[in-house]
A and B are shown apart, each in its own frame.
Chain A
Amino acid sequence: MARTARPAGPPGEPRRVGYLYVLPGFVVYALFALYPLLKAVYLSLFDWDGLTLGTWVGLGNYGEVLTDERLRAAFGHALVLMVFFALLPLGIGLVLASILHRARVRGLSFFRTVVFLPQVVAMVVIAVAWRRIYAPDGTINQVLSAIGLESWTRGWLGEYVFALPAVGLVGTWFETGLVTVLLLAGMGRISRDLYEAARLDGAGPVREFFAVTLPSVRGEIAVALTLTVIAALKTFDLIYLTTAGGPGHQTTVPSYEVYRQAFELGRVGLACAIGVCLTVVIFAISVVITRVGDRAGD
């Protein structure tokens, strides 16, 4: 039996056939992700109310996103939320995970579940619960009154200084579990030999953490940061349900503005422009995080 000569190249099916395998997935992806994205970019070039004929404004909407004080502020608030959604949980998660990892806690899986629990609960439920906690006669104020700090009590979500951090702390509470569990998994993979070597060299727990644990979980840190930063930047439900952007405009975020512009004010074009900008920001930050994570991992 004569076999036709296989063309040069990598082993396996020829490339053309390879693309064929990808096709079904790509069609779905194109239909539900690429097409809406392109359509959004396209709509962002119009001044369109969603009903009547739109007018072409080119990059006018993007100009407005950059110049409108309120929209700029929304992006600023999202950056503040990043600290609460990503950096704080990372710090807390690192401490928690290394304690849980080192101490060989009894019932580790129980604690892991408890820490992870916020992730399982729907954000709507979380928002409503925290709204009660922050209310003028809510849990926090009751505790403050009980320990004699009556003068510190306030309507937390209605205060100009405290509203954004208050919302941010809900995010911290929400994301810490995810980060901790991710890091715990990473730490579980670290070879015991490394710790043994470190200990033989006379390293204490702190030194051990910085010399062995931290470098080993860089990959997990990158993943955790990517996930939490994206969560911070696209927060909508939490803001919508706790403060509706208030007091004044102290807690508006880009996704809330997208909703407001499109559904309340009927400025679909501008809403798309905000959405596209948000996508670009998220994309850029994710690229930076993964790049840094990868490089450090080498």
Chain B
Amino acid sequence: MPRTHTIRAAAAVTALGAGLVLSACAPGGSDTSSSSAPAPSSVKTDAASLGNVTLTVWDQEVRGGQEKQMSTLNAQFHEKYPNITIKRVSRSFDDLVKTLRLALSGADAPDVVQANNTRSQMGEFVKAGQLVNLDPYAAAYGWDKRYPESVRAVASYSPDGKTFGSGSLFGMPQVGEVVGIFYNDAKLKSLGINPPTTWADFDAALQTAKAKGEVPLVLGNLEKWPAGHVFGVVQGRFTKAEDIRTLGFGQPGGSWTTPENTQAAQTLVDWVDKGYFSKGFNGLDYDPAWQGFSKGRGVFLIAGSWLQADLSSAMGGDVKFMLPPAPEAGGSAVTTGGTGLPFAITNTSKNKDAAAAYIDFITSENAMKVLAETGNLPVVETQQQTAPDPLGKDVFTAFGTVSTANGLVPYLDWATPTMGDTLGATLQDLLAKKVTPQQALEALQKDYGDFTGQ
């Protein structure tokens, strides 16, 4: 008897398992809506006439000045449009990246979300038809006139999500980011070096700093991605901006294995050979590295505008920020940069017009002023704002200059879904001299080529 029971129980379990499998169809099959743009005539820009609306907004503006600007703007928005209630859900960047995918595929998706520009986030959401094409709103609100092409490009995709950097607008960013060169001004003076204005000057400055026993170039690369920013700046020294854009947006037709890129990779290796980087950089954390710089260890630091507030409060007037020198071939400075996470509207939102009105409000001229006042780097109308401190002024000027001169090139890891990892690991290999510049570029070319189908 017990024997039969066991068999019957086993059969029940098997049946249960089989039932689970059979009842589920192919995963992800329920949502097949496409990202159709609303007809321009149907766009309503008068938010006050939309009736009582509740908007759920997911953002990642949780730190200091970010949190302040968001809550200020939300309060102002609610004051102006009392009929629209903002239900704000803020998460850290990491949490947002991990949960957004699930949230968007659920039935209760938020109305407005901050989605990372990358293919693995925004690109995938566009492909899945989960974000609203903002072109009609851009025309209605005049975003296409206020936001320069190079800024809109980093939130633009083709409607099938395959082409990044052109096509339709899917998100509106609030803040800008630019990678440049921070330098310890006090230290430069005591070393008798003038702030470099050409790449030759920069090389000479590094050499002098090394000869006088300083750490010329601070780098903490344990996290893998920091070297990508250094490489991006050095690449701008040799490679033309449009070539970098083709590679960075992962558009077909580019090549990593060009003489210019090889020169850039070789320059990094030369810097390693000459001992310009911090000791043990591949095992050094990013944060302790720049914190060391703020305490006077090191002369130059290639990093992004996001360090401005911290460096300024730690070093006061001793730290300055500059764009990389103009490329060897002439022209104006080319450097890595982009925007903060753009705000996008989900396709399941029942109040797309209200959502667009909200996005317009938090990216308006008034919003840019609030952003500057709260210590953020406004993405447009940057130079008209008052910077919070002298270093901030440097950063505002640098971003305004490079974005209007069309010198901003995308983060290289945006190119393909796997490029972040490939680039990080390859540069660690390159800097540790495990691979030659040629091998490193071939690895990057393979990732890029596999993706673009070349």
Pair A248/B434 contact, Cβ less than 8 Å: yes
User: Is the Cβ of A48 less than 8 Å from the Cβ of B28?
Assistant: yes
B contact residues around A51 at 8 Å (CB): 28, 101, 104-105, 124-125, 127-128, 130
Task: Evaluate contact between B27 and A43: CB separation under 8 angstroms.
Answer: yes
Tell me what chain B mostly uses at the interface: helix, strand, loop, or mixed: helix
Is B211 located at the chain interface by the 8 A CB criterion? Answer: no
Q: Is the CB of A155 within 8 A of B29?
A: no
Q: For chain A residues 50-65, which have a beta carbon within 8 Å of chain B?
A: 50-56
One of A100-108, A114-122, A129-137, A194-202 contacting the partner: A129-137
Chain A CB within 8 A of B281 CB: yes
Per the bound structure, the CA–CA distance linking A49 and B26 in Å amounts to 12
Contact A35 B20 (CB under 8 A): yes
Question: Is B189 at the interface (CB under 8 A from chain A)?
Answer: no
A243 and B222 form a contact (CB under 8 A): yes
Q: Which of B16, B127, B428 has the most CB of A within 10 A?
A: B428
Q: Is the CB of B284 within 8 A of A244?
A: no
Chain B residues within 8 Å of A30, by CB: 16
Residues of B near A52 (CB, < 8 A) are 28, 127-128
Contact A265–B280 (Cβ < 8 Å): no
The answer to whether A15 has its CB under 8 Å from any CB of chain B is: yes
CA of A275 to CA of B418 in the docked complex: distance in angstroms? Answer: 20
Whether B283 is near chain A, meaning CB under 8 Å from some CB there, is yes
Contact-size category for A: 35 or more
Check if B282 sits within 8 Å of A246, measured CB to CB. yes
Write the nearest CB–CB distance from B278 to chain A, whole angstroms.
Answer: 7
Cβ-neighbour of A158 out of B281, B418, B421 (below 8 A): B281
State A163–B425 Cα separation when bound (angstroms): 14
Contacts of B426 in A (CB 8 A): 248
Interface flags for A211-249 (1: CB within 8 Å of B; 0: not) read: 000000000000000000000000000000001111111
CA distance A10 to B3 in the complex (A): 13
Question: Taking A53-B26, A54-B28, A248-B428 as contacts, is the C-beta distance between A264 and B5 under 8 angstroms?
Answer: no
* Residue numbers in A under 8 Å from B283 (CB-CB): 134-136, 154-159, 163, 247
User: What separation, in Å, do the CA atoms of A268 and B417 have in the docked complex?
Assistant: 14
Q: Interface size bucket, B side?
A: 35 or more
Contacts of A7 in B (CB 8 A): 1
Question: Which residues 93-128 of B sit at the A interface, judged by CB distance below 8 A?
Answer: 97-98, 101-102, 104-105, 120, 124-125, 127-128
Complex CA distance for A100 and B154, rounded to whole angstroms: 63
Closest to B288 in A: A135
The verdict on A246 contacting B128 (CB below 8 Å), with A38-B21, A263-B98 known, is: no
Contacting residues, chain A, for B38 (C-beta < 8 A):
none
A247 near B29: Cβ-Cβ < 8 Å: no
| Set of chain B residues within 8 Å of A246, measured between Cβ atoms | 222, 224, 282, 424-425, 428
* Chain A positions 1 through 44: 1 when the CB is less than 8 Å from some CB of chain B, otherwise 0: 00000010110000110010000000000100011001100110
Q: Chain A: interface secondary structure?
A: loop
Whole-angstrom distance from the CB of B154 to the nearest CB of chain A?
19
Asked if A136 meets B280 with Cβ closer than 8 Å, knowing A52-B28, A54-B27, the reply is: yes
In the complex, are the beta carbons of A155 and B127 less than 8 A apart?
no
Residue of B nearest to A48 (CB): B27
User: Is A260 close to B, CB under 8 A?
Assistant: yes
Expressed in whole angstroms, the Cα–Cα distance for A137 and B125 within the complex equals 43
Q: Which of A54, A136, A159, A260 makes the CB contact (< 8 A) with B26?
A: A54
Instruction: Give, as a whole number of angstroms, the nearest-CB distance from B249 to chain A.
Output: 18
Instruction: Report the bound CA distance from A156 to B127 in whole Å.
Output: 42
A235–B283 alpha-carbon span in the complex (Å): 20
Q: Tell me the smallest distance from the CB of B198 to a CB of chain A, in Å.
A: 32
Chain A residues with Cβ below 8 Å from B453 are: none
Q: Which of B29, B98, B224 has the most CB of A within 10 A?
A: B224
Does B221 have its Cβ within 8 Å of any Cβ on chain A? yes
Cα distance A140–B285 in the bound complex, in angstroms? 16
Chain B nearest Cβ from A39, distance in angstroms: 7
Restricting to B401-454, which residues have a CB under 8 Å from any CB of A? 417-418, 420-421, 424-426, 428-429, 432, 434
Q: Report the bound CA distance from A165 to B420 in whole Å.
A: 25
CB distance from B352 to the nearest CB of A (A): 20
Contacts of B9 in A (CB 8 A): 19
Q: List 18 A-B contacts (CB under 8 A).
A: A15-B2, A19-B9, A35-B20, A43-B27, A49-B124, A51-B124, A51-B130, A53-B26, A54-B26, A135-B280, A136-B284, A155-B283, A157-B283, A158-B222, A160-B432, A163-B283, A244-B224, A264-B417
Q: Which 4 A-B pairs have the closest CB atoms?
A: A155-B283, A155-B280, A158-B283, A158-B282
Residue ranges of B at the interface with A (Cβ–Cβ < 8 Å): 1-2, 5, 9, 16-17, 20-21, 24, 26-29, 32, 97-98, 101-102, 104-105, 120, 124-125, 127-128, 130, 221-224, 278-285, 288, 417-418, 420-421, 424-426, 428-429, 432, 434
Query: Which residues on A are within 8 Å of B, measured CB to CB?
Result: 7, 9-10, 15-16, 19, 30, 34-35, 38-39, 42-43, 46, 48-56, 131, 134-137, 153-160, 163, 243-249, 260, 263-266, 268
